Amino acid sequence: MQEKKSIHGSWASRWVFILAATGSAVGLGNIWKFPYITGENGGGAFVLVYLLCIALVGIPIMIGEVFIGRRARQSPINALQDLAEESGSSKHWGAIGFMGMLAGVLIFSFYSVVAGWVLQYIFSTASGALNGVSSEQAGTLFNELLADPTTLLMWHTLFTIMVVGVVIGGVNAGLERATRIMMPALFVLLFVLFGYGMSTDGFAAGWSFMFDFDFSKLTWDAVLVAVGHSFFTLSLGMGSIMAYGSYMPKRASIGSTVLAIGFLDTLVALVAGLAIFPIIFSNGMDPAAGPGLMFISLPVAFGQMAGGQFFGTLFFILIGVAAWTSAISLLEPTVAYLVERVGMKRSSATISLGVVVWGMGILCLGSFNFMSDVTLFGKNVFDFLDYITANIMLPLGGIMVALFAGWVVKQKFSSDEINLKSEALFKLWVFVVKFIAPVAVGVVFILNL
Ligand code: PHE
Ligand code: NA
């Protein structure tokens, strides 16, 4: 039988798929969000729940998304519909893909604002404006940035244009190169920062904050945040990985590839935490400072370190690239869908979507200044979107994918496509997506009500 190909192209090799999917996974979720939510939720016990979620729920669902995409070779909605029909079930399963597209738009709108902060910090660091800052000064500088909608708008606009530019170019051009060089560099710099953290007198405190489990500090809301973050950080539950899976070559093994991606993503998050918390504790800062945590702690560290102006600039550049390769994957499912279903040109589809997310982003950046009075369920627009996407939409999408992969798709299809070496491992996977993952996430949802 001739191999089915996606009309949008395909990755040159398994290695390129790993790069692209790692590019999607590793982003602001690891370096910005993971440390700040760990700080807000008390540390160790939260980290443990997060790690369990990655292993028990995230990895199996990622296998599900990749195989669904690769088998159907189409954008998520069409892939779900086709596979449902082939398996003798209802086309309505495609609805999961709609929710995913909406989640992608909503995530992009705040993601791009944070990426904008990163862009600003590239310049602040490079200009020397952050040299030798104290923690108070770093806090003031960050708050001044948030209070200035014009500057925020400029960076948010620039970032949106950068993302739209790459998505217009398509799945191979641009993305591949960005990931191949920048990801390894980001790793190296994270370790430099980790080394700096080790040299501070806050290292022991940082380490025990992250790894000493104190379950009395854990609330059900914190557990939900950990569950939600395991989806967010692996780019699951909204179709990004499914779309990327549809460009994956047939020969590549899904199981080991997914394990590699999950491992890298987790490693980056943990090292980022181990770099940031020692700085927090050695400077007497508050680990629960919220979304600004990275932006008030790193400048202090770079400001004190030898060569900090150089390393700091490079570091913010690399975080910007990581955010860029992730944001691309937020738009890809919808763009692929518009091209397939509505017959738009790739460029028009991307630009139209770009305008929508750009407009939504303005509401998010306004949350810190001209719209700070506007609240939904007691949260400003920025926090609200961050919360409902990661903690409700992605886990819900993820459970639906698990149920779909376990119950709806014919097992002959999944076992052929995933093609694990061991039959027992496959059985285990089926059991997890049928029962463990949906029940675990469902229980956490219910306990939060
Ligand atoms: N995984 C990305 C990060 O950790 C964010 C993301 C979420 C990207 C969902 C795509 C889809 O930064
Ligand atoms: Na991530």
- pLDDT, tens digit, for every residue of 219-266? 999 999 999 999 999 999 999 999 999 999 888 899 999 999 999 999
CATH code for the domain in which residue 36 is found: 1.20.1740.10
Residue 134 Ramachandran class (φ > 0 left, ψ -120 to 50 alpha, else beta): beta
Q: How much is the pLDDT for 179?
A: 72
Q: How much is the pLDDT for 184?
A: 81
The answer to whether residue 7 is domain-embedded is no
The answer to whether residue 4 is domain-embedded is no
State whether the beta carbon of 107 lies less than 6 angstroms from ligand 1: yes
Closest by CA position to 163, among listed 313, 329, 9 = 329
3-state helix, strand, coil in the chain (%, to 5): 80, 0, 20
- For the chain, the first-to-last Cα distance in angstroms comes to 50
Least confident of 63-72, 101-110, 174-183, 356-365: 174-183
Answer yes or no: is pLDDT of 188 > 60: yes
Answer yes or no: is pLDDT of 141 > 70: yes
The answer to whether residue 9 is domain-embedded is no
Closest by CA position to 146, among listed 114, 123, 124, 107 = 114
Contact (CB, 8 A) for 166 and 347 = no
Least confident of 119-123, 341-345, 436-440: 341-345
H/E element, 386 = helix 381-388
Going by pLDDT thresholds of 50, 70 and 90, the confidence category of residue 217 is confident
Cα 2 to ligand 1 centroid, rounded to whole Å = 33
Q: How far apart are CA 208 and CA 399, in angstroms?
A: 33
The answer to whether residue 3 is domain-embedded is no
Least confident of 2-11, 87-96, 288-297, 301-310: 2-11
Q: How much is the pLDDT for 102?
A: 97
Closest by CA position to 224, among listed 41, 432, 102 = 41
State whether the beta carbon of 266 lies less than 6 angstroms from ligand 1: no
Whole-prediction pTM:
0.96
Residue 219 main-chain phi, psi, to 5 deg:
-105, 165
Residue 299: give the domain boundaries. 14-448
Q: What is the mean pLDDT of residues 36-41?
A: 97
Q: Which of 36, 117, 232 to mutate to test the pocket of ligand 1 (most atoms within 8 A of CB)?
A: 232
State whether the beta carbon of 25 lies less than 6 angstroms from ligand 1: yes
CA atoms 117, 119, 122, 128: torsion sign: negative
Answer yes or no: is pLDDT of 150 > 60: yes
Q: How much is the pLDDT for 417?
A: 94
State whether the beta carbon of 272 lies less than 6 angstroms from ligand 1: no
State whether the beta carbon of 125 lies less than 6 angstroms from ligand 1: no
* Ligand in closest contact with the CA of 333: 1
Q: How much is the pLDDT for 233?
A: 98
Answer yes or no: is pLDDT of 143 > 60: yes
- Residues 443, 391, 218, CA angle at the centre, nearest 5°? 65
Q: Which of 240, 265, 266, 334 to mutate to test the pocket of ligand 1 (most atoms within 8 A of CB)?
A: 240
Answer yes or no: is pLDDT of 421 > 70: yes
Q: Which of 329, 334, 392 to mutate to test the pocket of ligand 1 (most atoms within 8 A of CB)?
A: 329
Least confident of 243-247, 304-308, 324-328: 304-308
**% pLDDT > 90, the chain:** 83
Q: Ligand 1 atom closest to Cα of 25?
A: 1
State whether the beta carbon of 325 lies less than 6 angstroms from ligand 1: no
State whether the beta carbon of 167 lies less than 6 angstroms from ligand 1: no
The answer to whether residue 66 is domain-embedded is yes
The answer to whether residue 53 is domain-embedded is yes
Q: How far apart are CA 298 and CA 170, in angstroms?
A: 34
If you take atom 11 of ligand 1, which residue's CA is the nearest one?
235
Q: How much is the pLDDT for 178?
A: 66
Going by pLDDT thresholds of 50, 70 and 90, the confidence category of residue 191 is confident
Cβ-based neighbours of 246, under 8 Å, separated by 6 or more:
6, 8, 69, 70, 72, 73, 74, 75, 79, 336
Q: How much is the pLDDT for 174?
A: 62
State whether the beta carbon of 60 lies less than 6 angstroms from ligand 1: no
Mean pLDDT of the chain: 94
Q: How much is the pLDDT for 1?
A: 47
Going by pLDDT thresholds of 50, 70 and 90, the confidence category of residue 2 is low
Answer yes or no: is pLDDT of 423 > 80: yes
State whether the beta carbon of 393 lies less than 6 angstroms from ligand 1: no
If you take atom 9 of ligand 1, which residue's CA is the nearest one?
235
Cβ-based neighbours of 231, under 8 Å, separated by 6 or more:
58, 61, 237, 390, 394, 395, 397, 398
State whether the beta carbon of 30 lies less than 6 angstroms from ligand 1: yes
Closest by CA position to 175, among listed 312, 342, 8 = 8
The answer to whether residue 1 is domain-embedded is no
Cα 343 to ligand 2 centroid, rounded to whole Å = 32
CA atoms 82, 87, 93, 98: torsion sign: negative
The answer to whether residue 5 is domain-embedded is no
Cα 37 to ligand 2 centroid, rounded to whole Å = 13
H/E element, 256 = helix 254-282
Contact (CB, 8 A) for 44 and 212 = yes
Closest by CA position to 382, among listed 117, 141, 169 = 117
Cβ-based neighbours of 180, under 8 Å, separated by 6 or more:
19
Number of domains making up the chain: 1
Q: Ligand 1 atom closest to Cα of 234?
A: 1
